[in-house]
Amino acid sequence: MAVLTGAGISAESGIPTFRGAGGLWKEHKPEELATAEAFARDPRLVWEWYNWRREAIAKAAPNAGHRALVQLEIRKPRFTLITQNVDGLHDLAGNGKILKLHGDIWRMRCTSCGANWPNRRVPLPKIPPHCACGGLARPGVVWFGEPLPDGMMKEAEHAAGAAQVFLVVGTSAVVYPAASLIPYARHAGAKVVEINTEPTAVSATVDCALQGPAGELLPKLL
Ligand code: BV8
Ligand code: ZN
């Protein structure tokens, strides 16, 4: 079994999604902030946004939807959780095998020496933060226009291609290449089940589209 999650699974933990009402992208557009160009132009502005998101995420706890996916991993011998989320709530809930397609907001990377380290300081004492080497640090996430971490899509495609059931939870399925895992799983013969509060770009193509909040439907699915 394989599961692909998006921001919607963290909505009931109080973390705003990207494209929904009150979404993160409302005040800002993704191009403005979640790109290497924006960071090069104004690292302070981009770090202010990530600092604000880290503070919001630090207050959030995994919800019943996250917990249901931990139970699923325990019950299913072959289980891979693939997430587009950078909030770390699947780790906090206790899942073991997590493919983080878009990185992790709780990690930093040095723009000069390439060091990569965890940092959970909230709020950040210094903005923008720097590496021990003195280089400027960046959030350990994948920005628009950047490639996913090496080998990540291969591993995700392997999991999606081998799954009998591919669960797609809380994603608008507009971001690529993550969204391509959905047709990939279907063409490999998986039964695709979608859980979302609204119809999405893939709802018409899945075997079963369950409409409702992940925090309610995932425990029921269990
Ligand atoms: C790449 C990390 C190439 C940063 C993120 C034109 C057409 C097609 C593609 C492109 C294009 N132009 C550019 C592209 C490529 C681009 C892309 O896909 N753009 C989109 C916007 C069109 N992709 C990229 O740039 C990727 N890289 O292609 O590189 C390359 C290759 C080699 C060498 C060089 C370059 C990189 C994409 C990664 C971007 N980073 N995040 C950060 O977080 O700050 S993406 C960001 O969006 C998040 O990761 C998020 O997870 C992701 C997807 O959004 P969702 O998770 O789906 O969230 P959303 O708000 O959209 O939807 C929430 C859903 O939940 C809704 O459906 C809602 O109904 C539902 N929901 C709400 N509440 C609940 C619920 N469901 C259930 N229960 C609830 N309670
Ligand atoms: Zn460094």
Task: For residues 14-32, give the mean pLDDT.
Answer: 68
The predicted pLDDT at position 33 comes to 86
Q: Is 209 left (phi over 0), alpha (psi -120 to 50) or beta?
A: beta
Strands 116-118 and 103-110: antiparallel
Q: Report CA Rg, the chain.
A: 17
Three-state SS string over 79-92 comes to: CEEEECCCCCHHHH
Q: Which of 4, 15, 18 to mutate to test the pocket of ligand 1 (most atoms within 8 A of CB)?
A: 18
In this prediction, residue 24 has a pLDDT band, given cuts at 50, 70 and 90, of low
Q: Is the pLDDT of residue 25 over 60?
A: no
Q: What is the pTM of this model?
A: 0.96
pLDDT digits (tens, 9 = 90+) for 133-178: 999 999 999 999 999 999 999 999 999 999 999 999 999 999 999 9
Protein residue whose Cα sits closest to atom 37 of ligand 1 = 144
Percent of the chain with pLDDT over 90: 90
CA distance 175 to 165: 21
Nearest CA to 161 out of 185, 132, 129, 145 is that of 185
Q: In angstroms, what is the span from residue 144 Cα to ligand 1's centroid?
A: 8
The ligand that comes nearest to the alpha carbon of residue 23 is 1
C-beta of residue 181 within 8 angstroms of C-beta of residue 160: yes
Protein residue whose Cα sits closest to atom 8 of ligand 1 = 176
Task: Retrieve residue 65's tokens.
Answer: 């939807």
Strands 2-5 and 80-83: parallel
More confident residue, 30 or 88: 88
CA angle 20, 22, 26 (to 5 degrees): 85
pLDDT digits (tens, 9 = 90+) for 43-82: 999 999 999 999 999 999 999 999 999 999 999 989 999 9
Q: Cβ < 6 Å from ligand 1: which residues?
A: 6-8, 11-12, 17-20, 23, 34, 84-86, 102, 141-147, 170-172, 174-176, 195-198, 200, 213-214
Which residues are part of the catalytic machinery?
102
The ligand that comes nearest to the alpha carbon of residue 57 is 1
The predicted pLDDT at position 17 comes to 84
Ligand 1 atom nearest 102 alpha carbon = 2
The predicted pLDDT at position 20 comes to 63
| Position 195, amino acid | I
Protein residue whose Cα sits closest to atom 24 of ligand 1 = 144
Ligand 1 atom nearest 30 alpha carbon = 21
C-beta of residue 128 within 8 angstroms of C-beta of residue 136: yes
CA angle 40, 149, 156 (to 5 degrees): 145
Q: Is 189 left (phi over 0), alpha (psi -120 to 50) or beta?
A: left
Q: Is the pLDDT of residue 204 over 90?
A: yes
Q: In angstroms, what is the span from residue 131 Cα to ligand 1's centroid?
A: 28
Question: Domains in the chain, please, with CATH?
Answer: 2-221 (3.40.50.1220)
pLDDT digits (tens, 9 = 90+) for 100-120: 999 999 999 999 999 999 999
CA distance 181 to 7: 16
The predicted pLDDT at position 118 comes to 98
- Which strands form 103-110's sheet, in the order they lie side by side? 116-118, 103-110, 137-141
Nearest CA to 7 out of 87, 114, 126 is that of 87
